[in-house]
């Protein structure tokens, strides 16, 4: 199982999902619910249904679910997915040990939690891509591209 927002799908996402898929024989991906993204990160650029559709189109992915909205425990999705492994992206701000403790608390202690490697590319994250777009837009606005 892999989890994430997957807003502005990019090479870093594909790399993460390729590595996650390599850990097992079936990859289920949980896309963050729009309200969860708003509460924890930012206003999503693309809505959860479009993000789900985009991730479904990626070769390493077998199944995509939309995560629980705020107020519903995140671990409630586990019976639907039944993961053996949860793959975390290199830059996801999840504490592996805290996740392992919560999994054990909810009866999922057999699930392995592992962090995959990131890309070495400069534009391997949504925030980096947005910053680069803004930089390019500013230089164009100031006439720096001439």
**What proportion of the chain, given as a percentage, has pLDDT over 90?**
63
Q: What is the predicted pLDDT for the residue at 41? A: 84
What pLDDT does 143 receive? 67
Q: What is the pLDDT of residue 74?
A: 82
Task: Specify the pLDDT at position 62.
Answer: 98
Domain regions of the chain by residue span:
2-119
- On the question of pLDDT at 75 being above 80, the answer is yes
pTM over 0.95: no
Structure confidence at residue 110 (pLDDT): 95
77 secondary structure, DSSP code: G
Q: What is the dihedral of CA 135, 136, 140, 142, to 10 degrees?
A: 20
* CA separation for the pair 4, 18 (Å, rounded): 14
**What's residue 122's pLDDT?**
66
CATH node for 2-119 = 3.40.50.620
Strand order in the sheet with 63-66: 63-66, 28-31, 2-4, 85-88, 112-115
């Amino acid at each position: 199982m892999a989890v994430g927002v997957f807003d502005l799908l990019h090479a870093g996402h594909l790399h993460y999902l390729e590595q996650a898929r390599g850990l097992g024989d079936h990859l289920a991906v949980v896309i963050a619910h729009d309200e969860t993204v708003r509460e924890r990160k930012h206003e999503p650029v693309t809505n959860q249904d479009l993000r789900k559709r985009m991730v479904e189109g990626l070769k390493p992915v077998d199944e995509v679910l939309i995560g629980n909205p705020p107020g519903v425990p995140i671990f409630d999705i586990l019976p639907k997915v039944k993961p053996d492994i949860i793959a975390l992206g290199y830059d996801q701000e999840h504490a592996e040990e805290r996740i392992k403790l919560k999994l054990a608390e909810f009866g999922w202690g057999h699930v392995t939690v592992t962090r995959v490697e990131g890309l070495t590319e400069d534009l391997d994250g949504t925030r980096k891509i947005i910053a680069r777009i803004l930089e390019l837009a500013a230089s164009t606005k100031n006439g720096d591209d001439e």
